[in-house]
Amino acid sequence: MSQITSSPPRRRGLPYIGRTLDYVRNPQTMMRSQYDGWGPVSDIDFLGKRWTVLLGPDACGAALRNADKAFANKDGWGYLVGPFFDRGLMLLDFEEHHRHRRIMQSAFTRERLEGYTATLQPAVESGLARWQPDTRFRAYPALKELTLDLATEVFMGGADLASADELERVNQAFIDCVQAATSLVRFNVPGTRWGRAMRGRKFLEEFFGRHLAAKRNDPGDDLFSVLCQLETDDGERFSDEDIVSHMIFLLMAAHDTSTITVSTVMQHLGQHPEWQERCRAEALALPLHPTLADLGELVDIDLVMKESLRLVPPVPVVARKTVKDTEVLGHHIPADRLVAVMVHLSHHMDEVWPDPSAFDPERFADSRREDKAHRHAWEPFGGGVHKCLGMFFAGAEIKSILVHLLRQYSWSVEPGYVAPMSYLSLPFPKDGQPVHLTRR
């Protein structure tokens, strides 16, 4: 360990609540003022606990690389969403995490992704065809419904698994689980977000548990079936309880993150018609049902996706808890401390990015590569051993939606529109993100 110099400075706020409300109101302003006033490593009160906050690419990178294995996920994420996403891959640590990740990786090989991408195409095409164009079409809820349908196809093997009513309950249970993250009441009290999330988890366990035997006995190509069949060379498999926990986490991990990314892209392509036309030209040049390889050839759509992930990272903060004393940038962090790795700010620092608030996809072009300014400048998918396992699936899904969307529709958004974001859980536009949508 390098030389320890000092404890992080502590910014005091209201008892219990601390800086929670500042974060929920506007995380970027809160993070910037914390960084400017207290530096890259500081302490705050947040949701009833003391947290060490890491800001800027150096501090965030140190925790994500986790060289001395001081930062653990289970009790970090566990404090925010533990009871609902318990034993999901992201909430496992060290050897156990390594073992589960090795098994799960076989569900995300190139060959598997090619299969999932093929399943996606007709589902995306028909899902989008059902949209009803409007001058104030609410893009976000429509995309959320679409990505849930896609998850039903690719992850669970299609709507045959359950009735529309039951799938709606699955969706609501996920929403309840995700929304509990920033709940100030953190006990199972009826009528609270926390209480609803506990019931949501129970419903999801029962739902996946009920369908498990069928997936084991008569597997398809969907992710649920794949998880039931996976076996490493040394014969390791997931137990029934593991599969249920992994499914619940995977659906959550895949759902809101992809939805907000496409929603951000729609906003910016609606405000930058020249980029919309460039992307549409690329989309029209592809076969009707593009393969994973076809999607990998997209240039402009890829730039736009990366820039949207920079502007609105779907996971603005990742959580950790120290399992031993450690040090970041000369600050001592004691064992048992909750740590917030606030990657969102790294995406918006003018120390790292020229004109960071501008939508400028070409900053990711080979000729510029502004993301190379720092190894941890752009980290929407995290880093280190917990780096998003679904990153390539996410890219394939987001690009598939964009390709079909650009072919079927044109849209515009008021040039001055700024999405009113909610940060109560993962970010989403509170107004549903209206666009003027027309069929082509």
Interacting residues toward ligand HEM by CB under 6 A: 73, 89-90, 101, 250, 253-254, 257-258, 261, 314-315, 318, 380-382, 386, 388-390, 393-394
How far does CA 305 lie from the centroid of its chain? 14
Q: How far is the CB of 383 from ligand HEM (least distance, A)?
A: 7
Minimum CB distance to ligand HEM smaller for 290 or for 382: 382
Nearest to 39 by CA among 51, 47, 31: 31
Q: Cβ(253)–Cβ(390) under 8 Å?
A: yes
Q: How far is the CB of 36 from ligand HEM (least distance, A)?
A: 25
Minimum CB distance to ligand HEM smaller for 196 or for 306: 306
Q: How far is the CB of 107 from ligand HEM (least distance, A)?
A: 9
- Give the residue nearest to ligand HEM (CB): 390
Q: Which amino acid is at 12?
A: R
- Give the sheet arrangement for strand 409-412, strand by strand: 137-138, 434-439, 409-412
Q: How far is the CB of 143 from ligand HEM (least distance, A)?
A: 12
Minimum CB distance to ligand HEM smaller for 318 or for 328: 318
Q: Cβ(146)–Cβ(128) under 8 Å?
A: yes
Q: How far is the CB of 199 from ligand HEM (least distance, A)?
A: 24
Q: How far is the CB of 440 from ligand HEM (least distance, A)?
A: 26
Minimum CB distance to ligand HEM smaller for 43 or for 379: 379
Nearest to 390 by CA among 224, 251, 204, 263: 251
The alpha helices in 39-70, defined as continuous H runs, are 57-65
Local structure of 345: helix, strand or coil: helix
Q: How far is the CB of 101 from ligand HEM (least distance, A)?
A: 5
Minimum CB distance to ligand HEM smaller for 286 or for 388: 388
CA dist 45 and 161 (Å) reads 44
Minimum CB distance to ligand HEM smaller for 257 or for 326: 257
Q: What are the φ and ψ backbone dihedral angles of 175, each rounded to 5 degrees?
A: -60, -45
Nearest to 22 by CA among 42, 53, 46, 39: 46
Minimum CB distance to ligand HEM smaller for 38 or for 94: 94
Strands 41-46 and 10-11: parallel
